Amino acid sequence: MTSEKKKNRKVYVVGHKNPDTDSICSALAYANLKRKVTGQEYVAKRAGQVNEETQYILDRFGVEEPGLLSNVQIQVKDLDISRVSGIEGHVSIKEAWRQMKESNTKTMPITKENMLEGLITIGDIATSYMDVYDSHILAKARTQYRNIVQTLDGTIVTGNEHGYFVKGKVVIAASSPELLENFIEKDDLVVLGNRYESQLCALEMEASCIVVCQGSEVSKTIKKLAEERQCVVISTPHDTFTVARLINQSIPVKHFMSKENLTTFKMSDYVEDIKDVMTKKRFRDFPVVDRKGRFVGLISRRLLIDARKKQLILVDHNEKSQAVDGIEEADIQEIIDHHRLGSIETIGPVYFRNQPVGCTATIVYQMYEEQGVMIDRMIASLLCSAIISDTLMFRSPTCTDVDRRAAESLAKIADIDIESLAREMFNAGSNLKNKTAEEICFQDFKKFNIGDVEFGVGQINSMNKDELHDIKEKLIPYLKEAMYSQGLDRIFFMLTNIIEESTELLCDGAGAREQVFDAFDLREDTEDIILKGVVSRKKQLIPNFVIALQQ
């Protein structure tokens, strides 16, 4: 791939799985910044379902939800697909061969109204030329007279070129008229020279077509008889030997094409899934179709070597367990985050910006200022909402003066009342009456690996104590199932009361309660785990867990 093509490739800006408001809003705002600064195509994406709070923000400010990017493994659409135009089934083998040489391809798709009907390869063409000894083959293949004319570089003297040769055999009239009568049969196609007697004999024997070689003139009498008997007369400049050699090339490609059990791939197929199929098949090229079954182009095994990895910018995370599936196959360009350093590995050096602030949106706001890019009202609304959400309206211990100043500045641009917006956001986010236990559990859920322990932590923030109690009753019976479904050793869930600035922590799994007791120095006979002053998963819960597990 040329450097120019690589430069113009699309780059996805995406947050973590189970995205929160910061993850979505920062992706939207940073993609916008990159587009304005570089002029290139940067597209915001989401790695999971948008939660209620975030949906409220998007709806309120009239912003379209980013498209889903659930897997960044290399797909067929990431390959340099050979955009070969298909040919229709009635096209002659000679014309197919010409187009294959012109496009330098060994396989030609046969299509009808863009739908794939079959494939013809150089091997198929060689078979049609070398291994066919059947003099009836043109009729069996229902060869159109127009194909014969084009293949022989000829002209129609009389007859309908759109008609089809459907009966009889091909006869080379090299004998005398007396002998010809013994083997010319009704409906045959007769190849002959300028001998009037031979031409007349063919017509009297009711041939359906005669091919006059070496550009010989056809007499008025022969023309008239041919018209009366509805016999097609073709004149060709080639000699009899050349015509005999070329005429089979007029057969339509549909007669020799492969059409049964074709191996096709879709644009959305993952390369990892099709590798085995391609190596087990003897074909050189494989057709690609879109989701409606329309032919797109061809791919070959060699293209897998040069497969283009998806280019990503990660925001609001740098843990592999939180990243979109297939992250190990992606080409990570940048990481913008405010969490602890995680486990993501990159192919080469990347731009990595990590600051100890309460929200990724705060960092994005700084980058707008550093680049001298004006923040419009919509972007200001998104960034401000993200800061309010991640800092629990400045109550979280992760919140810094930088976050507060950024939010206040953005609120002025967007004409937002911070307290009013916060109340509406949090109410929308905790309105989970119609949600299942599974939906609540994974609405804001992250996985972590510390030593040999893999665990997950979910969180719900609410200003309503009774609502948190209802969520607790719903979640407790489901936690064990959630733990097993995610392949975790332990699972925790934070029911955070924003007003009281405290969290009730639910847990399940062997050693889970002991992990909490060690991390927060609690008595072992503690029943309900209430953590006063703990509202932040990132700043308060996880660091304590890390220390406890490492000890």
> Per-residue pLDDT tens for 388-411?
999 989 988 889 999 999 999 999
Tell which residue, 255, 256, 250, 253, has the closest CA to residue 144.
Answer: 250
pLDDT per position as a tens digit, 157-167: 999 999 999 99
Which one is the CATH code of 3-74+309-428: 3.40.50.2000, 3.20.20.80, 3.90.1640.10, 3.30.70.1400? Answer: 3.90.1640.10
Residues constituting the chain: 551
pLDDT at 77: 86
- Domain 93-255 is of which CATH architecture? 3-Layer(aba) Sandwich (3.40)
CA–CA separation, 57 vs 385, rounded Å?
7
**Residue for token digits 């990570």?**
332
**Higher pLDDT among residues 6 and 320, named by residue:** 320
CA–CA separation, 423 vs 493, rounded Å?
22
pLDDT, average across residues 441-449: 90
CA–CA separation, 459 vs 443, rounded Å?
8
pLDDT at 134: 82
Question: Burial of 153 by CB count in 10 Å (0-12 exposed, 13-18 middle, 19+ buried)?
Answer: exposed
Phi (first) and psi of residue 38, to 5 degrees:
-100, -25
The per-residue b/e assignment along 27-38, b for 16 or more CB within 10 angstroms, e otherwise, is bbbbbbbbbeee
pLDDT, average across residues 452-456: 92
User: Which H or E run includes 119?
Assistant: strand 115-121
User: Which H or E run includes 29?
Assistant: helix 21-38
Q: Which residues contact 234 (CB under 8 A, 6 or more apart)?
A: 145, 148, 149, 152, 154, 155, 156, 157, 159, 209, 210, 211, 212
Q: Which pair of tokens denotes residue 212?
A: 């006059």
* CATH topology assigned to domain 437-550: Diaminopimelate Epimerase; Chain A, domain 1 (3.10.310)
The C-alpha angle with vertex 190 and arms to 184 and 191, in degrees rounded to 5, equals 135
pLDDT, average across residues 299-311: 78
Q: Do domains 93-255 and 437-550 have the same CATH topology?
A: no
Kindly tell me if the per-residue pLDDT of 483 is higher than 80. yes
pLDDT at 538: 85
pLDDT at 7: 53
CA–CA separation, 313 vs 333, rounded Å?
5
pLDDT at 305: 63
CA–CA separation, 179 vs 194, rounded Å?
17
**Residue for token digits 């993952």?**
270
The C-alpha angle with vertex 74 and arms to 266 and 48, in degrees rounded to 5, equals 95
Where do the domains of the chain lie?
3-74+309-428, 93-255, 437-550
pLDDT at 8: 63
